[in-house]
Structures are given as C-alpha cells and as structure tokens.
Structure 1
C-alpha cells in the first residue's frame, strides 16, 4: 500500500511545476509517441527522471526539479519545455499545449499499456476511456502536515478564480463545447475528483487516504485527483485546477500567485486564524461558473453574502499579496478566446499550429 507520511512536510515555500502536454505530428495532430519519448533513449538532462506519460499514448508530463527560489521559476519552466520540444523533435514529433487538444478524438487514439492505466480503464470504464485532458499542477512545500491540510481547506474558494483565469479548453472531440474549460468538466467525471470536503487535520486526511486504498476505491494515493490536495509523498500542497497553458509566461504568473497565496495562508494558520466554513455547494457552483464562463465568471462570496467579480478578485489579490502576474493573466486575451478566434478566422489547421510549441 503506497501511503505518504507527515514526515514529508519539512520544507516551507519550495516549488514544483508539473505540466501535461500533447505529442503531435508535423501538422500538429495528436499521435502516439510515448514509446519513443518516454521509453526510448534518455532525454536531455532537464528531463532525466522528470518525464512520464498519462493515460493516452499522445499525452506526456514533465516535472521541474524542486525550486528553492521563486525567482528561478521562469528558467525552470522554460528549460524543461525547451528540452521537451528538442527531445520530441529528435524523434520526429512536436509538442502542443492546451487543456484539451481540439483535434483529439478519443475513440481514434491509443491508450497507454502501462498496468496502472489499464487497471484504471478496467475499473472506471467510460469516463476514463475519454479522458484526453491536460492540466497544470503547482506544488508548494509546507513544513507541517496539519498546516498543509488547513491550507488546502482554505485554498478551495480560490480555485474557481484560478480556473477562470486559466481556461484553455473550449474544444473537445472535434467540436466547440460552449464551455470555457471543457477539460474541468470531463476530468470531473472521474471518481475522486473535483472539490474536496474539508479535513479536520492531517490524521483525518491520512485516515481517508488509507481507507480509500484499503477498500479498493483507489490503487494508490496518487489516484485522489482532487482539485487541491496535501501531497503526502512530496510534502506539498498541490493545486491541480488550472488547464494546461500554451504560453509559458502564464504558467509563471500562476505559480507566482499560488506561491504567495500559500505563504499568506501559512502565516494566517500560524497566527491562529480560524478556518472558513464554506458550503460545498457554493464551491461547486463557483467552479461551474468558471467552467462555463471563464473570464466572464463571477463568484459567490465565501460567506454567501454577495458576488465577487473576477476583475475585483484580481485587483484585491494583487494588492493584498503584492503580485503582478494576476493582472497580466486577466488583461491578456484568454486561452479559450484565442482558440475560438483562430478557429473561426482560420480553421482547425491553424489552431493546431498555434498550439504547437516552438
């Protein structure tokens, strides 16, 4: 049984970034490639030990090394991406980035044969068979297990604005879904996903984690795919809400905010601030608003008294935490709008080309 430990939570403020990408051919269309890129010759140095694949043979994941200084995030993200593009190019492939690939039709694509994924397909069936999603996962180190659980609880209200700002997946299975983030809804059809309930402390979370394995709901702790979770192996709080991003600067902007927010919540925990009791239904409603409307979403306030507009959230959080990236994310054209504009003006071929990294 693979379970983590409270002892893993021993560093405060370190960072790690996981990005999921698509392997595509010369025309930017999805194609199987993990045999060459993951199981073939060793990749360039930034990717050694930090390259894996996901459910489909055209999905691939990278991890940065542990980042001690937030000022190094941009270099870490860029070097990993450049190495992946180089590695793919050496084998005749390209790499694309989005929450969903607009040309990916899941019935026509091959699933990975890795036993872990085959077991998931057998257990979960249809929802996992069609799971062509790609996300951005941000890890922030926390130096105490109970603190990590408290922070994860408090982060839940902030996840909907993050999803709204990251929305980058309007197309799925060849058509426009009408959603800003179709990825979030497709992924949420899997078990043990979406918005978690609050946990009392680390013992409460670990008991839940252990029972889910013991009772056969999951094979290992990594299959608790909630939008935010204490990662009991890495000793981090992991935010898993954002869509994968095409532009690396957007990744850097998200990491800047998440890091500042986690440090702020850590200080509030140390100061003895009580946790906020937010109805799960409100959290789910706010996430739905982001899924549907993206940049145009507004959110029910934590106390359910009033509505918070996204522009107000961005301004207030930027001022409160002293970050710049949130404004950049809000002021730029959204990933969803870019995709729809390119598709309408120039068609699917042009959109596939835009999503391919250089």
Structure 2
C-alpha cells in the first residue's frame, strides 16, 4: 500500500469568459483568444464544450502549495489575456447572466458529437465544474475505493456549491449545475458495483449494445478515470475562491487516502447507504451547507457542520502532510457559508439598496470575476 505522501493529484478548473461591457457570456467564439491563451499557457489551457468556455488542467501535483502556485498563475495569466480582448473570467458552476439558448458550441469534434447525440440536454449544459484526480496504485481496486468515498460526495458538493442562479434568475437551489447534470444519462451518484471486474462488465455491456461510444462516456460524480490511474471527482462546482478549490482538492485526497488505508466499515456496503447518499446529494444541491443531512454511518439527521466534523475526525489521521489547512477551511466554509450563499447575499444587498434585478446580477458577476481573477489577493490568498 502506498504511503499517504505519495498520493499525487491533479486539478481541472473550468471558466466562463464574460464580456466586460454586458457582463454576459459572448455568444460566438472570440477571434484570436484561443490562440492567445495557448501562447501564454501552452498545454495548461484547453477548450471546453462552449465557445466562450475554457479549462485549465494542471500537471501532476504533490502538494497543495504546488496547486496554489499553478492555479494562481493560470488564473492571473488567463485574466490578463482576457482583458486584452475586453473580457473577464468567471469560475462558478453557472454564470448568473448566461442564457443557454444563445451559446454556441465549440468546433472540437468530440464536443460536436455530444451535441449531436444529446441535443437540448447538451445545449443546456452551460456549466463549469472543478474536477480532481487522485492517483491510485495499480494493485488497488478503484471501484472498492470509490465505494468508500461515494457516501461523502454530498459534503464536497455542499462545500463547492456556486450555482444559485440560472438564466438570469435565482434558481432556489445552491447548485443548479447539478440539477442540469441530472438531465444526462450516467451522471449523478454511481451505480453500485462490488469491484472493478463487475464495473468492467457493465462498461462492456454498454459498449456492446451501442449505449455509449467509448468507455469514457460514464460521467458519474466520481469515477475511475479512463485516461489516468486515478479516481476522478466530478461533483464539485467550479469555485470562484481559489482557497475553496484547494479545500475540495485536499479534502478529496484525504478521503481517498482514508479509503486506501483505513479498515472498511460494514455500513459502506449496506444497500441503504446509496439511498442515503442520493438523499444527501439532493439536500446539498438544494440547501448547500444548510439544512439537515443523514450521516450514513449512524443513519441519523445532523446539521451539515456536524456531519462534516464527524467525517473530518474519521479521516484526520490519514491526511497527507500539508493538506491540514484544507480540512480547517472546510470547517470555515461550513460555519461562514460558501460561494452560493455569498452570491445570493450580494444580490439581495443590491436589491435592498434599490438596484434593479439586472443591476444586482451585474454586481454578482463583478464579484465572481474579482474572486476568480484574484483581484486584491496577495499570492492567491482568499479575499477577506
């Protein structure tokens, strides 16, 4: 079994371009922008499903300090390039003023195929996520490790929730991104398989019956990556605050470390656990960090902060050295609130001050741009 310090990881962050005049996402590709990004960041930056959306993919990382340095540099560089084109950068599950009907898909072939296959479902997916890969040794059954982490996914969704607005309106949810994701097949909480052999049979059945084009077309909230020997976290909304993104990465790595090293409790394989996980995911999607959540270990309802603390106490001994601040930051988010709550507060404060609906949304977008672009932040530290 690997030492905890050897658990490498990688992060993928998605961003929306935002027109500085209208605060909306550009409808069409911005001539020259993709080329300027490639010149500035090389292979770190890639195109996404929509023409006004880009992704940064880190190299293999060993520490959160490396992750901070890499992502802070990528964000500030992308923001500088964007300003030359009259654009800003937003990392959030949804861009509050985005109108999905007006967005054009990128011309990358694999994305064009998704739009052909999934039609309006693909067109509505004007979303940005935070994906985290954690390396798993070849001799470890990734499905069994995944089963151990899956019940805790709603915690990571609650901590990252940053999509309370959809199509210019409050959605009533803290993560409307996950509501849109539920329109796709093979998303959400994974189906249960005892081990990797069972999972491979499932994938082969889908391939043999023409249900999927490639084995990568299983898009669960957590999955064994096809391209890398990793477990890939996919449930998290993109985080405007860099510290929030690092918190998700560090906490997920700690959870995977626990899955690899700790004794396996009986409740993990209880059929009721998946039912509880589905319920908790809904509660995280709807209420974020608030409301009552069901602890799968005790099957009792608890406030989010209490359930989080139970899990942190369980995984603490398996934390990778240097990731301790991520766990403390999770406690801070549970106490003070995350991005979704901050966005709604900014919107309500503007409305209370007499601003119109559209003006209030512009203030939300401006705050998201400032956070994403690390404006006023020294060395990528959290905005006070």
Q: Would you say same fold, with TM above 0.5?
A: yes
1:115 correspondence with 2:105: no
Query: Which deviations, in whole Å up to 9, do the C-alpha atoms of 1:123-159 show, x marking residues without a partner?
Result: 1122111111111111110103643211111111101
1:355 correspondence with 2:368: yes
Whole-angstrom distance in 2 between the partners of 1:207 and 1:145: 19
Matches within 5 A, 1:217-296: 217-268=211-262, 271=263, 275-279=268-272, 280-296=274-290
Q: Check whether the contact 2:17–2:90 (CA below 8 A) recurs between aligned residues.
A: yes
Whole-angstrom distance in 1 between the partners of 2:17 and 2:329: 28
Q: What's 1:318 paired with?
A: 312
Query: Which deviations, in whole Å up to 9, do the C-alpha atoms of 1:185-230 show, x marking residues without a partner?
Result: 1111111100111222222223323333343222223321100001
Structure 1 position 287, deviation (Å): 0.6
Q: What's 1:96 paired with?
A: 90
Distance 1:25 1:225, change over 3 A: same
Corresponding residue to 1:329 among 326, 333, 336: 333
Q: What's 1:339 paired with?
A: 343
Where do 4+ consecutive residues of structure 1 move more than 6 Å?
Answer: none
Q: What's 2:378 paired with?
A: none
Q: Check whether the contact 1:180–1:290 (CA below 8 A) recurs between aligned residues.
A: yes
Q: Check whether the contact 1:17–1:138 (CA below 8 A) recurs between aligned residues.
A: yes
More off after superposition, 155-164 vs 24-33: 24-33
Distance 1:229 1:303, change over 3 A: same
Count how many residue pairs are aligned between Structure 1 and Structure 2.
344
Structure 1 position 273, deviation (Å): 5.7
1:183 correspondence with 2:187: no
Unaligned runs of 5+ in 1: 1-10
Q: What's 1:140 paired with?
A: 134
More off after superposition, 155-164 vs 110-119: 110-119
Q: Check whether the contact 1:183–1:243 (CA below 8 A) recurs between aligned residues.
A: yes
Distance 1:49 1:210, change over 3 A: farther
Distance 1:341 1:181, change over 3 A: same
Whole-angstrom distance in 1 between the partners of 2:208 and 2:223: 19
Structure 1 position 173, deviation (Å): 1.0
Corresponding residue to 2:24 among 20, 26, 29: 29
Distance 1:38 1:200, change over 3 A: farther
SS at match of 2:10: strand
Whole-angstrom distance in 1 between the partners of 2:265 and 2:276: 22
Distance 1:59 1:214, change over 3 A: farther
Whole-angstrom distance in 2 between the partners of 1:257 and 1:41: 30
1:76 correspondence with 2:70: yes
